[in-house]
Amino acid sequence: MYFTKDLLKQSKALTKKWEDQVKRLTQKNADQKERWSTVSDLEIKRLYTPEDIEHMDFERDISVPGEFPFLRGNQPTGYRGRYWTFRMFSGMGTAKETNKRWHLLLKEGQTGLSTAFDFPTLMGYDTDSPIARGECGKCGVAIDTLEDFLQLVDGIPLDQITTSMTINPPATVLWAMYCAAAELKGVPLKKIGGTIQNDMLKEFIAQKTFMCPPEPSVKLICDTIEFGTKFVPRWNTVSISGYHIREAGSTAVQELAFTLRDGIEYVESTMKQKKLDVDDFAPRLSFFFNSHIDFFEEICKMRAARRMWARIMRDRFKAKNPRSWWMRFHTQTAGCSLTAQQPYNNVVRTAVEALAAVLGGTQSLHTNSLDEVLCLPSEHAVEIALRTQQIIAEETGAANTIDPLAGSYFIESLTNTMEEKAWEYIEKIDDMGGMVSAIEKGFPQMEIADAAYNYQRQIDKGEKVMIGINKYVGDDKAPIPLVEIDEKVEEEQTKSLQAVKRKRNGKLVVESLNSLKKACREGENVMPYCIEAVKNLATVQEICDVYREVYGEYHDPGLF
């Protein structure tokens, strides 16, 4: 038992007394509102007491940092050894421009790189594809061939800096480019480190950046996991992401549950398809969460996530290596919590969300820029966002001690509640036969759509508040300068793509694409073929067209 009998007795008596007093006072003066809940609509009590956590077992449920169940963190040393990685997501226009921004960020004290690609690249199309009209370079950097990629990483020491790439359907292609670039620069694959997002399940569930149907998509992910395990051991081949699930309007519990269930699906599939032992690859799985505006809910979500993953890995998959039990995760503050109205308020929101992520024990963090709801971030806005992290790390004292909120009746109780609710979802999806079939049934999609609609209704009715939107609405005092991508970028990029197509050896391109196709048909690991193809300057779309041809295309089923 977590508390002594005496303490509980005392607590119960005093709580009773307090309750009576509250009753008296609220009869005289009613509360401002009847129901108090998190941004995810989870009801919160006025007070939490020892009774709320009396059933906890210290060793089983809390323990110390670096020990199972890792509620308090993976690292015994906390942030004292090193802070989380300050990893700002960036990318825009051409590879050359993005490369320039990267060098600037590294100079400013950023410690890891993170790439945003434009939509044609994200969807596996080339800049000159008709469906890509108007999109080039808009939301990230445009990459068509290895030539672009080499420009992107120009002057970046690939053996020292880790790079994260937010790429999903064409993850194999972009990772192949990274591997090829390393080889060309004389850096062995064993030495490069970084992350590809490569999490397709959340795309079907939430972000809708998809190409092939769920099953072959998972197969390609298993290929990367296998290839990484064998040849690129410092690479995180999948970043199992709740971020986009949350941005699509889910609750915190749904984000937690669906993300972990996606993780379970990848582990199961890899063990089954690749005949790998769970401990061979599990230590390289990484996660990615959203940090939304509800401070405590987010902290508890992250703590619960770590504890749940440890339990899943040890108990469900029988992993033996403690590193397999670790949930390592990146966090990004919530884009959907920001407002275009009164945009300077976004600095404050982001700071609160970033602090939650740090108190939740994140290993890596992106802080949104104040202008991100309006356009690509300006250099100045990015600097403020990066400084926000530096202030939290070095001024506030938040990193002084590990998991400072542990033991709080409220924090532990909310952590438990979120875990319980997430288990319910996970069991439900297990009963449906796993995440792929749950997606086919539209289950997670519908749950999220319901939550998003619900939240919007609450905003409309004023039950939930967004300052500048439904309360304290006013004119923006100081307009912010907007960054725009020149329409000429598309023209330039198309020209340089055509130049590459002219100079490359067409025969080699066709041959390498054909062997890739054969590998796809025969169920081989695609990675070596993919690397060969990008080296021969096959384009992103040419390679993705092979996938589309062999595996088929997935279209939005539009479930309501």
Partner 1 sequence: MERKIRIMVAKPGLDGHDRGARILARCFRDAGFEVIYTGCHQTPEQIASAAIQEDVDLVGLSCLSGAHKYLFPKVVELLKEQGAQDIAVIGGGIIPEQDFEQLYKAGVKEIFTPGKSLESIVEWIRNNIAVH
Partner 2 sequence: MMENRNQSARERPEKEGLDHVELARKIRDGNIRAASRLIRDLEDNVPQAKGTLKHIYPHTGKAHVIGITGSPGAGKSTITDELVSAFREKENKVAVLAVDPSSPFSGGAILGDRIRMQRHAGDPDVFIRSLATRGALGGLSGAVGSSVHILDAMGKDKILIETVGVGQQEVDVINHAHTVIVVLVPGMGDDIQAIKAGIMEVADIFVINKSHREGTRRLQKELLSLLDLKENRSGEWTPPVILVDDVLNKETFNGNIATLCQTIDAHHQHLISTRLLEKKLEKKAIVEIHEVLKSSILGPIIKELQASGEFDNMVSKVMKRQSDPYTLVEDVRSAFIRSQKGGE
Give least dist CB 209 to partner 1, A: 5
In angstroms, the CA 189 to CA 533 distance is 17
The residue from 91, 213, 360, 468 that contacts partner 2 (CB under 8 A) is 213
Given 260, 485, 489, 538, the residue binding partner 1 (CB under 8 A): 485
**Residue closer to partner 2 (CB basis): 43 or 556:** 556
Q: Nearer to partner 2 by C-beta: 499 or 559?
A: 559
DSSP 223-250: HHHHHHHHH-TTEE-EEEE-HHHHHTT-
58 binds, among partner 1, partner 2, none (CB under 5 to 8 A by kind): none
Which of 203, 280 has the CB closer to partner 2?
Answer: 203
Rounded Cα–Cα distance for residues 429 and 268 (Å): 14
Burial of 540 (0-12, 13-18, 19+ CB in 10 A): buried
- The closest alpha carbon to 284, from 366, 203, 244, 224, belongs to 224
Nearer Cβ to partner 2, position 60 or 208? 208
Please choose, from the candidates 432, 455, 427, 457, the residue with its C-alpha nearest in 3D space to the C-alpha of residue 443.
Answer: 432
Please list every residue from 365 through 404 that binds partner 1, using CB under 8 A. Answer: 373-376
Give yes or no for residue 488 binding partner 1 (CB under 8 A). Answer: no
Is residue 555 at the binding interface for partner 2, with CB under 8 A as the rule?
A: yes
- The answer to whether residues 106 and 476 touch, using CB atoms and an 8 Å cutoff, is no
What residues numbered 248-267 form the site for partner 1, per CB under 8 A? 248-249
Which segment (272-280, 349-357, 379-387, 547-555) binds partner 2 by CB under 8 A? 547-555
Piece of 29-37, 119-127, 213-221, 386-394 that binds partner 1 (CB under 8 A): 119-127
407 part of the interface to partner 2, by CB under 8 A: no
Instruction: From the list partner 1, partner 2, none, pick the one residue 215 interacts with, judged by a Cβ distance below 5 to 8 Å according to partner type.
Output: partner 2
Residue 319: Cβ within 10 Å count: 20
Taking every pair of Cα atoms in the chain, the longest distance, rounded to a whole number of angstroms, is: 85
Among 441, 501, 504, 548, binds partner 2 (CB under 8 A): 441
Q: Least distance to partner 1 from the beta carbon of 40, Å?
A: 15
The entry of partner 2, partner 1, none near residue 208 (CB within 5 to 8 angstroms by kind) is: partner 1
Smallest distance, partner 1 to C-beta of residue 53, A: 35
Which amino acid is residue 267, in one-letter code? Answer: V
Residue nearer to partner 1 on the CB measure, 208 or 318: 208
Q: For residues 292 and 352, what is the distance between their CA atoms, to the nearest angstrom?
A: 9
151: three-class secondary structure by DSSP: helix
User: How many residues appear in the chain?
Assistant: 560
* Token pair for 44: 């919160």
Nearest to 350 by CA among 397, 383, 388: 388
Of 131 and 482, CB closest to partner 2: 131
Residue 470 in the binding site for partner 1 (CB under 8 A): yes
| Residue in 111, 273, 341, 408 binding partner 1, rule: CB under 8 A | 341
How far is the C-alpha of 99 from the C-alpha of 149, rounded, in Å?
Answer: 10
Structure tokens at 65: 């940092």
Stretches 173-181, 212-220, 410-418, 462-470: which one binds partner 2 (CB under 8 A)? Answer: 212-220
| Residue linked to tokens 């542990």 | 406
Angstrom distance (rounded) from CA 492 to CA 225: 36
Number of residues that bind partner 1 (CB under 8 A): 48
Task: Please report how close the Cβ of residue 137 comes to partner 1 at its closest, in angstroms.
Answer: 9
The answer to whether 132 and 120 have CB atoms below 8 angstroms apart is yes
Distance between CA 113 and CA 418 in Å, rounded?
32
**Nearest CA-CA partner of 229 in 185, 184, 267:** 267
- When binding is defined by CB under 8 A, the residue of 20, 31, 57, 215 that contacts partner 2 is 215
551 binds partner 1 (CB under 8 A): no
Q: Does 216 contact partner 2 by CB under 8 A?
A: yes
**Which residue in 395, 431, 484, 556 binds partner 2 (CB under 8 A)?**
556
| Alpha helix positions (H), 432-505 | 435-441, 443-461, 488-503
- Whether the bond between 69 and the residue before it is cis, its omega within 30 degrees of 0, is yes
Q: Is 503 among the residues that bind partner 2 (CB under 8 A)? A: no
Question: Which of these ranges, 260-268, 299-307, 451-459, 541-549, lies near partner 1 under the rule CB under 8 A?
Answer: 451-459
Q: How far apart are CA 63 and CA 48, in angstroms?
A: 21
Rounded Cα distance between 105 and 383, Å, is 8
- Shortest Å distance, C-beta 460 to partner 1: 5
Among 379, 394, 424, 460, binds partner 1 (CB under 8 A): 460
Beta-carbon contacts of 2 under 8 Å, excluding residues fewer than 6 positions away, are 50, 53, 54, 55, 56, 57, 58
Interaction site with partner 2 (CB under 8 A): 213, 215-216, 441, 551-552, 555-560
Interaction site with partner 1 (CB under 8 A): 119-120, 122-123, 125, 130-135, 138-139, 203, 207-210, 247-249, 336, 339-341, 373-376, 449, 452-453, 456-457, 459-460, 466, 468-470, 482, 484-485, 555-558, 560
